[in-house]
Structure 1
Amino acid sequence: MNSERIAAAMRQPAILAVVWICALLMLTGTLTKMPGQWQRRDFSNYYESVWALRHGIDPYSTDLTPLGARLGLETGGLLHASETPPFLLCFEPLTWLRPRVAFWIWTAINFSALAIAMYLLLAHRRGLSGRTAWLLAGLILMSAPVNLNFYWGQSQLIVLALMVGAMRAMERERDGAAGLLIASAGLLRAYPLLLIGYFVIRRKWRAVAFAATGIAAGVLVTVAVLGLTQTLNFIYGALWLTDYSVVNRVDNLSLGPFVSRMFWALTGTASGSSTDWIRRAGIAVADLVVLGMTIRATLADTNRRDPDWRIYSLWIATSIMLSPVGWHHYLVLLAIPFVQLVASAADGRSSSRAVWMAALAYALSVVSLRVFNRFLIPPPTGFQLIFPSLARALEETSFIALLTGYIAAYWFATDHPRRDAVLIRGGLTPPM
């Protein structure tokens, strides 16, 4: 089935109705579980980290468990702050409120960010009919990453809104605004800073200049408010994210942790062993391969306007892959390449293999979460004891979901079916 037929099938009213019923059921289920989530991670970690900061306690090097208990919050395994200093600074106003009230305001902020992102992605877009836009909206709302963002009080929906906003700003040739939006996302979560590489290779120098200025201004404000020492203590939080207990978690789905787990499983060693340099070298090689593929695809695309935002979509997927740490809710950012894929598929501008790979990634994002919750928590489960080999394979379904998403974005960036078809009809051979 080619991509045009897939797009046509997706627009059927029956499919649209089923998707929205499932989306509403999923959202309702998430909302009914949220009232007690103000006490739990990740929101609780944000709150207790900023509360500590306000009271002169370094949240990056201090065990927050006793403080969390005093505030009525469950620290769980999040013993330290790991968010950037600018993020903590932006979150500070909420800590002047009681945790329960702050949680619901934070949830409203995230709902607003999602609504903005969906509107910018779906409203009045080329290649998206009204039915297709509503269908994609339902698929986004019912997706596991979106619901996880709300359930845990995470912040990736804000990053999503900033990334979509940057894309639309570039579409209107407002590269300076795009640079500032990516700078804001980078100050909040760090890993979006990789998208500055997209600006550099595409020679969007105005975006680069505004991004650099925005980052410098954000850092200066943070240092002025928190002080240089406290700002630099973020290094301790970043190092904690490389700890064995964090990296070895199977829901840590970015490329580096995956390579580490494979190395430890195959060699029977653990972090800190005499052969650990091999693991670090393997991570560096894997990261360079993925980054090299992305750069190669970017350089091969000679259209600086980036039609359908193929290259931009690829850099978003790359930023998740190369992040030192990544969780299931990061996959919400793949909504950008997936929507762009569907929009271009309506006009036959996406290859079928890219569309199908995106569909597989979406399905795996659901399956991996269900498998993880049903069979792998808390370890060792009965399933892991009875079927150790199968359990080990299932443990990596979150990474496979990300990998298939990256492959879909890569094929989206490098396949040009309509252009190739025109060349073939004209008696020419498409470039390799």
Structure 2
Amino acid sequence: MPAQWHRRDFSNYYESAWALRHGIDPYSTNLTPIGAHLGLETNWLVHASETPPFLLCFEPLTRLRPRIAFWLWIAINFSALAIAMYLLLARRRGLPGRTAWLLAGLMLMWAPVTLNFYWGQSQLIVLALMVAAMRALERDREGAAGLLIAIGALLRAYPLLLVGYFVLRRKWRAVIFLAAGIAVGGFATVAILGFPQTLSFVHAAMWLTDYSVVKRVDNLSLGPFVSRMFWFLTGTLPGSSADWIRRAAILTADVVVLGVTIRATLADENRGDPDWRVYSLWIATALMLTPVGWHHYLVLLAIPFVQMVASASEGRSSSRAIWMAAASYLLSAISLRVFNRLLVPPPTAFQLALPLLARALEETSFIALLMGYIAAYWFAINHLQPEHPPQLHRAKAKHRLVADANYRNRAKAHAGQLVDE
């Protein structure tokens, strides 16, 4: 950690917010000279990639020296992790003390959590906001839940997809407060920065969907994965005459995933969302459909994974969802080690000897996310499935035994009545 204060994503946050504070557009300006002036390493992150509200919230840290700001930023993220873990694990139904401590240890050891600190990222703040929104819904505070998701959407954009959950679950108060929170945050950003500077975020969106970013195998969301598979299988590059097919394939894949999620949501008529199954599925869906996503985004899967364990301890979770979640957890850690040992720096001897296997290993981060989504989907539809045949047979046999016993008792009572008469 001490060696990271002048590099990684924290460096990009600091440079971008510092430029914004000094009237420089960080979305269209090369930040390398600013980083050199501040003693920071810009590396390939030469432009700002965060939303204007995020940079405004980060801006006060630029009034401190980078090293001090770094440790304060780490403290903020560690506090967010502690809050999220407390709300997820402390005194929750289905989580006895021993199980909660075990899950806490597994979370701290989890690769996406450690990567958030390694890169100086901000996904732990989003995790805390989403867990807090879930607990607010648990207490029927829909307005507070909507505001919390609005804050997450202003900071990172992709949490906005959870508006679909609120709409389909008919949580209209949450929808209203979410829309109002985004409107107020947006107007405040425009009032402070001005409309041209706020609109300049379009440059960041275009840069993040550029070939140089999409081709990175650690960019694990669905759209970049489809693009990489298309380029690999067809041998084409962006700008070719067949590029419209790639865009159509991305749109089709997004629609399929969103459609599966909507169908599972509508099939569940229980508005209370027991065990927060549908809420968990929408979180996994947001990760799948975000235009750009990195390995540390997987930290948000802690919500569905913990909910699965809590329901499993009371026999309300399917074994296939649990095993798929466990596989996703393990693969998210193994993929990084395999990638660093066999595939960096390219081209390695392994890639030259076994190119197809190497290509498959490069996509293990996406596979870990896909496994997490499948686990969340199975978890969401589990209580909609009929009983398993063995359980059904046992239930019917028990019902017959009870019915026979009741019949015998009634017959004995009737015979006794006849003798008395």
Normalised TM-score (structure 2): 0.92
Instruction: Report the CA distance between 1:418 and its aligned residue.
Output: 8.9
Query: Which residue in the other structure is 1:69 paired with?
Result: 36
Q: Which stretches in structure 1 are left out of the alignment for 5+ residues?
A: 1-33, 428-432
**Among the aligned pairs, what percent are the same residue?**
78
1:27-426 → structure 2 map (5 Å cutoff)? 34-416=1-383, 420=387
Q: Root-mean-square deviation (CA), in Å?
A: 1.4
Q: Give the SS at the match of 2:371.
A: helix
Q: Is the 8 A contact 1:294 1:410 kept in 2?
A: yes
2:283 alignment partner AA: I
Deviations 1:321-346 (A, max 9, x none): 00000000000000000000000000
Deviations 1:99-135 (A, max 9, x none): 1100000000000000000000000101001000000
CA distance in 2, matches of 1:152, 1:304: 39
- Once the two structures are overlaid, the 10-residue window that deviates more, 364-373 or 171-180, is 364-373
Normalised TM-score (structure 1): 0.90
Q: Is the 8 A contact 1:351 1:417 kept in 2?
A: no
Q: Which stretches in structure 2 are left out of the alignment for 5+ residues?
A: 397-421
CA distance in 2, matches of 1:185, 1:264: 33
Deviations 1:130-154 (A, max 9, x none): 0000000000000000000001100
Instruction: Report the CA distance between 1:385 and its aligned residue.
Output: 2.2
Instruction: Report the CA distance between 1:182 and its aligned residue.
Output: 0.3
Q: Give the SS at the match of 1:416.
A: helix
Q: Is the 8 A contact 2:147 2:178 kept in 1?
A: yes
Task: State how many pairs are aligned.
Answer: 395
1:149 alignment partner AA: N
Q: Give the SS at the match of 1:67.
A: helix
Higher Cα Rg: structure 1 or 2?
Answer: 2
Deviations 1:293-331 (A, max 9, x none): 000000000100000000000000000000000000000
2:24 alignment partner AA: I
Instruction: Report the CA distance between 1:417 and its aligned residue.
Output: 8.1
Q: Is the 8 A contact 1:122 1:137 kept in 2?
A: yes
1:260 alignment partner AA: S
Instruction: Report the CA distance between 1:76 and its aligned residue.
Output: 1.1
CA distance in 2, matches of 1:353, 1:388: 32
- Once the two structures are overlaid, the 10-residue window that deviates more, 118-127 or 53-62, is 53-62
Q: Is the 8 A contact 1:348 1:417 kept in 2?
A: no
Query: Which residue in the other structure is 1:14 paired with?
Result: none
1:389 alignment partner AA: L
Q: Greater relative contact order (Cα 8 A, min sep 6): structure 1 or 2?
A: 1
CA distance in 2, matches of 1:35, 1:387: 38
Q: Is the 8 A contact 1:349 1:418 kept in 2?
A: no
Instruction: Report the CA distance between 1:180 and its aligned residue.
Output: 0.2
CA distance in 2, matches of 1:298, 1:170: 16
CA distance in 2, matches of 1:98, 1:374: 36
CA distance in 1, matches of 2:292, 2:77: 21
CA distance in 1, matches of 2:365, 2:320: 21
